[in-house]
Amino acid sequence: MMTDYRLTSLAKSLPDTVPFVGPETQERARSRLFDARLGANENVFGPSPTAVRAMAETQHWMYGDPESFELREALADHNGITPDMIVVGEGIDALLGYLVRIMVAPGDAVVTSDGAYPTFNYHVAGYGGVLHKVPYRYDDHEDAVALFKRAAKVDAKLVYLANPDNPMGTALSGAEIVEALEYLPDGTLLVLDEAYLECATQNIALPLPLDDPRVIRLRTFSKAYGLAGARVGYAMGAPGLIRAFEKVRNHFGMNRAAQAGALAALEDQTWLRSVQARIAASRNRIAEIARKNGLRTLPSHTNFVTIDCGSGPEFAKAVLNEIVARGVFIRMPFVAPQNRCIRISCGRPAQLDILTEVIPLALRAAELR
């Protein structure tokens, strides 16, 4: 009987890990459901009702269109570009995996921020790339200049920047990124993750043509559009780069219901604006809850709020554990100095009522540890 599977040497060298432990896993371990799910940055306000109807009415016996033709046409029209500048995939996570697959060979250098979105690192490790990291700025923003300078130093293939940022919720202006681009070396591609762009409190989009060959932009229907479970993301860039995705992507990865739902969601901009207003109201209430408990919040351009617990990582972790033990699912950054914080996703009023009751109890319990 086979017990020594013939994994590649690279696969054998990788740790047994995943980027995230889901709330469902934690619920199974606790043998109880969470009372409030405020840790996965999901849009609890849900997708457009027209998107829900479109998905329900989809003929599921058919495969999805492998070209996502209608959705790409609509996205092109929405963004004022041509369809050959867009590739659709199973969320930004899958698109990051495809991008790393076509760009990164074993030993190739890649640059990211220390503590930034971990799924990108997961893909880089899976294809044998070498990660080089720079710290966040003193103000909990990603440091674009430092990222690009490090890319020049190590001859990086890719440099990853999330704007707005996950896990801190902060954002750089588009003008700041343009100014920093003078330090991006020739031959290095900026991977600009804009998953939370529609949640931003102001226009922070990069003011450059969407086919600028130095940049690929990744966006999603998982956040403001409320379709996290459908897994619909898209990337925009120069046509030559977008064509390269055809060599490796899963052409039937996009299911028909997800395509229909995303198309309907995109067409319902009125619903999107209503969700944006509810996200803003929820952010404000989370900040108010934090202030009433003596905590400071970071400025948020996302559908979550990062809260500075005012002490070191041990105290922040204790606060998180006490909140989770009381039935509220949240997360926290895991790299210093950002790990002095916890992170709470926007919620409905009833969920935030629960949070209001839980936070002071958790803080007192953490202080007694």
Q: What is the pTM of this model?
A: 0.96
Query: Among residues of the chain, what percentage have pLDDT more than 70?
Result: 100
Query: Is 49-267 a CATH 3.90.700.10 domain?
Result: no
pLDDT tier at 16, thresholds 50, 70, 90: confident
Lowest mean pLDDT, pick from 4-8, 14-18, 223-227, 243-247: 14-18
pLDDT of residue 171: 98
CB of 352 closer than 8 Å to CB of 286 = yes
Question: Half-sphere exposure of residue 110, counting CA atoms within 13 Å on the CB side?
Answer: 28
pLDDT score of 174 more than 90: yes
Rounded distance, CA 192 to CA 219, Å? 9
CB of 174 closer than 8 Å to CB of 156 = no
pLDDT tier at 17, thresholds 50, 70, 90: confident
Average pLDDT over residues 226-236: 98
Strand-strand pairing, 296-297 and 233-236: unpaired
Of 239, 253, 189, 192, the closest CA to residue 219 belongs to: 192
**CATH 3.90.1150.10-classified regions of the chain:** 21-45+270-368
Phi and psi angles of residue 275, each rounded to the nearest 5 degrees, phi first: -65, -40
pLDDT tier at 1, thresholds 50, 70, 90: confident
Please report where in the chains the tokens 């495809």 appear, as a residue: 98
pLDDT of residue 238: 98
Average pLDDT over residues 18-43: 92
pLDDT tier at 5, thresholds 50, 70, 90: confident
- Fill in the DSSP letter of residue 331: B
Which residues contact residue 244 at a Cβ distance below 8 angstroms, ignoring those fewer than 6 apart? 102
Q: CATH assignment of 21-45+270-368, given 3.90.1150.10, 1.20.1420.30, 3.40.50.10740, 1.10.3720.10?
A: 3.90.1150.10
Average pLDDT over residues 259-273: 98
Rounded distance, CA 74 to CA 71, Å? 5
pLDDT score of 290 more than 90: yes
User: Where would I find the beta strands (DSSP E) of the chain?
Assistant: 36-37, 86-89, 109-113, 130-134, 158-162, 189-193, 215-220, 233-236, 296-297, 304-308, 328-329, 341-345
**CATH 3.40.640.10-classified regions of the chain:** 49-267
Provide the mean pLDDT of the chain.
96
pLDDT tier at 3, thresholds 50, 70, 90: confident
CB of 165 closer than 8 Å to CB of 199 = no
